[in-house]
Amino acid sequence: MDNSYIPKIVKASGVKAHELILIHFWGEDSDRDIALEFVNAVAALGASPVLLQQSRSANRELFQNAADTSFDEKYFSLFSSFDAILDIFAYRPVVLGYEIDADKYELYRRYMTQLFSQLMKVKRFTQIRIPTEANAVESALPAAVYKERMERAYCIDYDALLTSCTQLAEELAKHEQIVIQTGRDCRLFFDLTGRRWHIDAGDGDWPCGEIYIAPNEGQTNGTIFFDRLFIDDFGVFSQVSLQIEGGRITGSDHADVKKFFTELSCADSVVCELGFGMNPGVTDLCGYTVLDEKMACSFHIAIGANNMFGGQNAASLHMDLVHSGSFAWHPASKKDAVFSYFGSELTNLRSREQILSADERGDEAIFVKVRANIFNAFRSVFSAGIKVCGNDEEKLESFFLSRIEQISQNWRGARKEAEIHADTQKLYLEDVKLKACADIREAFIKIWRKSL
């Protein structure tokens, strides 16, 4: 690694005078000079560095000899004093890489668990990958390619990066709902209400350069097109579209891709993140997510967990899907919001119907299916209204509400007939239909008369 980058990295991470900084270094003594460069860079900014080295060879001897009373609460309480952690690794963290006695390995595992529990409480926690051959193995890229790409990603103007990230985040934060257009006619709707944009311009994961947010989990709807889609540990696919309904990836025009996503658990298939790559040193995709998600002029979605950055979805994975072709984002229109509402409701209803059917509650499942059919029908009515009314919002509102009223009137008549004949099953069915109409009307008015 070109050590001349290190002072710029330390400054961009947010280190300031009078701070106490832990240099947490994962590597052998052969790479210790890198850690010392970070120590010197921290001190040059007027902060106080403390170096803790996690060497596999040293830890093998240390924990083979350690006792159960070693590394107690007194030890871990020392870490509460740090203002920031620079977690620097020349190879994969935590992995010991050696066989030791089972009881000693348990002591090592417990040490690492407690250590990270303390470190994650510190105000700033920055992870920095060093372009080494060991880290190249983890990336699955040839060592020379990995090093060259990482060097380019590190050799950038960090002040300019922070400015561009801040500007885009501030612009996006003006809008509660946005749409991203990809391919010829793919549109993906995101509801960002109440969620916050995060900027990674140096105090997060290195190489840095992205802004990201946890969209409201059940509200992402539409389609997205990828010229080339990298799926971790599964494959690379060309010219692929994904369907997203009710916040989950539910389909694809590629059979293998569809099978992959539809076999995930509900939590793991949730669209949990929207991000934009901002690093000008990353100019094309290589299949290594750490770099790909930072690619300038790209965006990515992710599936799985987002409860660590403002979301509510806990899952067993977090997988980024990076889009590198042409795209455009813009504030969502009222039409977009209405279609997203129908998409989310239909996904929830279909899921509910499946659960009821699996529980052998067939009668309830039938009524849920009726409600779903009504939502689907009114989605078609809304589409027809757009064709008739074009961009005239007042005319479209009148068209859609009049159709709801007309259909509701017919069903109120059917309900009266059922009431006259004391047909309780028919009566309940008409109530389900009328309730669906009322709910659609209420949601439509709320969306249509809100200023997006």
> Maximum distance among all alpha carbons in the chain?
90
**CA distance between the termini of the chain:** 48
Both tokens of 348, joined, read 């929830």
List of residues 6+ apart from 139 with CB closer than 8 A: 146, 288, 290
- Are 439 and 451 in contact by the 8 Å Cβ rule? The answer is no
**For residues 397-431, b (16+ Cβ closer than 10 Å) or e, as one string?**
bebbbebbeebbeebeeebeebeeeeeeeebebbe
Do 262 and 373 lie in a common domain?
no
Q: What pLDDT score does 451 carry?
A: 58
- Whether residue 25 is contained in a domain is answered as yes
Q: Which residue among 311, 332, 353 closes a domain?
A: 332
Q: What pLDDT score does 452 carry?
A: 47
DSSP structure class, residue 192: -
Q: What confidence tens digit (pLDDT) does each residue in 97-121 have? A: 899 999 999 999 999 999 999 999 9
- Structural domain for 418, as ranges: 335-448
Do 314 and 340 lie in a common domain?
no
Q: What is the distance, to the nearest Å, from the Cα of residue 169 to the centroid of all Cα atoms in its chain? A: 16
Query: In degrees rounded to 5, what are phi and psi of residue 199?
Result: -110, 120
Q: What pLDDT score does 2 carry?
A: 80
Q: What pLDDT score does 219 carry?
A: 93
SS3 per residue for 303-318: EECCCCCCCCCCCCCE
- Whether residue 15 is contained in a domain is answered as yes
Q: What pLDDT score does 31 carry?
A: 94
- Whether residue 147 is contained in a domain is answered as no
User: CATH number for the domain including 55?
Assistant: 3.40.1830.10
Do 294 and 237 lie in a common domain?
yes
Q: What is the mean pLDDT of the chain?
A: 94
Do 297 and 380 lie in a common domain?
no
Do 86 and 218 lie in a common domain?
no
- Are 21 and 83 in contact by the 8 Å Cβ rule? The answer is yes
Closest CA to 147 of 136, 137, 157: 136
pTM (2 d.p.)? 0.85
Do 173 and 196 lie in a common domain?
yes
Q: What pLDDT score does 290 carry?
A: 95
Do 189 and 327 lie in a common domain?
yes
Do 57 and 80 lie in a common domain?
yes
Q: What confidence tens digit (pLDDT) does each residue in 9-45 have? A: 999 999 999 999 999 999 999 999 999 999 999 999 9
Count: domains in the chain = 3
Do 119 and 24 lie in a common domain?
yes
- Whether residue 146 is contained in a domain is answered as no
CA–CA dist 178, 452 (Å, integer)? 10
Q: What pLDDT score does 90 carry?
A: 96
Q: Which residue among 332, 353, 380 closes a domain?
A: 332
Q: Which residue among 332, 349, 369 closes a domain?
A: 332
What parts of the chain have a pLDDT lower than 50? 452
Q: 140-143 contacts: CB < 8 A, separation 24 or more?
A: 140/287, 140/288, 141/286, 141/287, 141/288
Do 228 and 365 lie in a common domain?
no
> Strand 124-129 vs strand 186-191: parallel, antiparallel, or unpaired?
unpaired
- Whether residue 373 is contained in a domain is answered as yes
> Strand 20-26 vs strand 48-54: parallel, antiparallel, or unpaired?
parallel
